[in-house]
Amino acid sequence: MELKRGVTFSDIKQRLDAVGQSHLLRFHEDLDAASQRGLLDQIAGIELERLPRLVEQYVKRKQAFAIPSDLEPAPCYARDAKTWNRADYRKKGEDLLRAGKIAAFTVAGGQGTRLGFDGPKGTFFGTAITKKPLFRCLAEWILAAQKRFGTIIPWYVMTSPLNHAETVAFFQHHGYFGLSERDVMFFSQGVLPSLDMATGNLLLAEKGMVATNPDGHGGSLRALWTSGAIDDMMRRGVEHLSYVQIDNPLARVIDPVFIGLHASAPDSSAEMSSKMVAKTDPGEKVGVFCRASGKVQVIEYSDLPRDKTEERNATGRLRFNAGSIAIHLISVDFVARLNAGDELSLPLHRAEKKVPYVDSSTGQTIQPPMANAVKLEAFVFDALPLCRSSIVYETDRIDEFAPIKNADGNDSPATCRDTQTERAARWLEAIGVSVPRKPDGKADCVIEVSPTTAWEADDLRNVSLPKSIERGAELAL
Ligand code: UTP
């Protein structure tokens, strides 16, 4: 939200009146001068004129998703690489890394409400034994890649106005996790106002502050531009961004094969590419890569009709099985193109949530017992159909997808820990180390491997290891 200096009370009042939102000024007179200024600046940064349409579209009606009639599964570069040459693409990716053309990009502006952790999610622990924070898990990938390829990989970290200061302070406190301070850039994404679910009204979080939420990971495509991050990349000669989310400590932050495919596969426009894993079952709640009118797109699990979700091909595999794991490569030129000329506008997605608010008749702060507001967010994968042509690359779930979304159950610290151990166990077994397993096949120990030690099984050959791991052992490599 941009601050516009010099706005007057009457300007703002007039604009609010025009869209029926003048209750936001109800407590203006009770505020001190600085808070009055802050409130007016905040309101000035909201696109008020767009509100009636948003309310109509997302609050009064829950817009139904129209399934394209020619919807088909998106083609993928399969893991077994029978039809493409993995070694060639790896080499191409490595060349781009050595030439300094690749930056890492992490979106870390989310609110992490499901996890219920008080603080930026990147400060939450991501490994089971050493309890490394998620930011460190990703930083170690970057450190390892810099060393491996003798290069600098700048890291762009998107925060939100709600967690920016705390995030930067965390990096400072931890010495940027061994990275060079000048190669780590932070910028804040935009926010959108949260809307009262019953009326569509804007809400006051405090008497002098409108309730807002970060504008979604899709907001990154604009924030990269408005923050000057894209300019910085152009100055450095960076051509592609490796996009990962903060909540997946297994993500291969830098993956030469994927970079090579994105940049040079014949059917890639090298604008935006994606990774997928095969869905575990029809009900798994992940978006699915599809294609319609020749364009790759992600359809959210809730939007894909049941018959399509459950449809299987002759081999019994789900036909629409390409689950999105929110890992992309995005070219700097693509982001620049989207932002140049016409305003970049991605569709918005609605979520219902509990938002504390100031009651405009009593001035009391209300803690709602259930969802009372609509939060609108843009999703980064909605930029895929804007590419001239986009590719999807299949990867192994155990190898790189264990997000921490919830405090327990699915996608929790416990499942993430199990996946990290399973990945490490497979690597150890691949080089001949025996790993104890329980009757259900799960490893009977806890193992974590830093990417600075190994990022695939073969790297462990250079590490001094026992012939077998003891049952119940904890091993941090
Ligand atoms: P999620 O969709 O899981 O959202 O974000 P969240 O806000 O972290 O968690 P919940 O839904 O409140 O429980 C996926 C990734 O996108 C980032 C998050 O930080 C995470 O890395 N994100 C999400 C942003 O950077 N900005 C946003 O506005 C939303």
Q: What is the 216 CA–ligand 1 centroid distance (Å)?
A: 7
Residue nearest to atom 4 of ligand 1 (CA): 110
403 lines ligand 1 (CB under 6 A): no
Write the CB contacts of 166 (distance below 8 Å, at least 6 apart in sequence).
119, 120, 123
Res. 384: pLDDT tops 50: yes
pLDDT at position 342: 66
Residue 355: count of CB within 10 angstroms of its CB: 22
DSSP 77-129: B-TT-SSS-HHHHHHHHHHHHHTT-EEEEEE-----TTTT-SS-GGGSB-SSS
| Mean of pLDDT values over 172-197 | 97
222 lines ligand 1 (CB under 6 A): no
Percent of the chain exceeding pLDDT 90 equals: 91
Residues of the chain with CATH 3.90.550.10: 66-405
Residues 32, 38, 41, 46, CA torsion sign: negative
pLDDT at position 284: 92
pLDDT digits 0-9 by tens, 235-251: 999 999 999 999 999 99
| Mean of pLDDT values over 53-69 | 86
| Mean of pLDDT values over 274-302 | 95
Which numbered atom of ligand 1 lies nearest the CA of 351? 11
Residue nearest to atom 22 of ligand 1 (CA): 110
Res. 4: pLDDT tops 70: no
pLDDT digits 0-9 by tens, 334-364: 999 999 976 578 999 999 999 999 998 999 9
pLDDT digits 0-9 by tens, 389-424: 999 999 999 999 999 999 999 999 999 999 999 999
- CA-nearest of 182, 167, 101, 177 to 452 is 177
**In whole angstroms, how far apart are CA 64 and each of 110, 255, 296?**
25, 37, 20
pLDDT at position 3: 39
Per-residue burial over 219-253, b = 16 or more CB atoms within 10 Å of its CB, e = otherwise: bbbbbbbebebbebbeeeebbbbbbbbbbbbbbbb
- CA-nearest of 231, 163, 137, 146 to 451 is 137
Query: CATH second-level architecture of 66-405?
Result: Alpha-Beta Complex (3.90)
Residue nearest to atom 16 of ligand 1 (CA): 217
Q: What is the 344 CA–ligand 1 centroid distance (Å)?
A: 20
Opening angle at CA 311, ends 308 and 317, nearest 5 = 130
- pLDDT confidence tier of residue 1, bands split at 50, 70 and 90: very low
